[in-house]
Amino acid sequence: VNDPFMDLHYMVYQLKYDSVHMRYKGTIAAKVDGDKEYLIVDGKQIMVFHAKDPASIPWKEAGADYICESTGVFTEKEKAELHIKGGAKKVIISAPPKDAVPIYVMGVNHKEYKTTDTVVSNASCTTNCLAPLAKVIHEKFGIVEGLMTTVHAMTATQLTVDGPSRGGKDWRGGRCASQNIIPSSTGAAKAVGKV
């Protein structure tokens, strides 16, 4: 696990007591051995790192071959490949990529996966909801053009009270998430077209 912004003991606390998923019923502990840190979940020891640069994370030492890149920052092949410099073999981006990284959605185009791909994208949660349904409709009836509307639960990037949005440009995004329906854009439609 790599989280440059969370202390190991805070990580244990966050996993143990979650406001949404409730208290974890198993065991979670922290272990520090010299300069190495471990998160211990139900007896399984997991190395923890706090690096901002993926190339500096010793994934090979941790025994991590496949890395789920879910920061939202490294969504281009060149940036995601930094994990490979750290010793990983493959990287899966959990968002639509900003470049020509192949996108795969189970049940839609997963059989097109090439073992030579070192960086792939699993698109987004919205794409994974829409693409399988769109595939069935397209194969049965054909889709020439489409329009989608997504209703999404609150996310960690939204505000709990009114205030300036990130960057100050999205005025709607500055509204309290629990009190408003906030229109926003999504890259899911483009990603569905790609898969």
User: Which residues are identified as catalytic?
Assistant: 125
CA distance 4 to 164: 25
Query: Strand, helix or coil at 151?
Result: coil
CB atoms within 10 A of CB 146: 12
CA distance 192 to 108: 10
**Burial degree of 54 (CB within 10 A; 0-12, 13-18, 19+):** buried
CA distance 8 to 48: 7
Q: Order of strands across the sheet with 119-121?
A: 66-69, 90-93, 119-121
CA distance 88 to 85: 7
Helices (H), the chain: 8-16, 59-62, 77-80, 82-85, 125-140, 188-194
Residues in the chain: 195
Which H/E stretch holds residue 9? Answer: helix 8-16
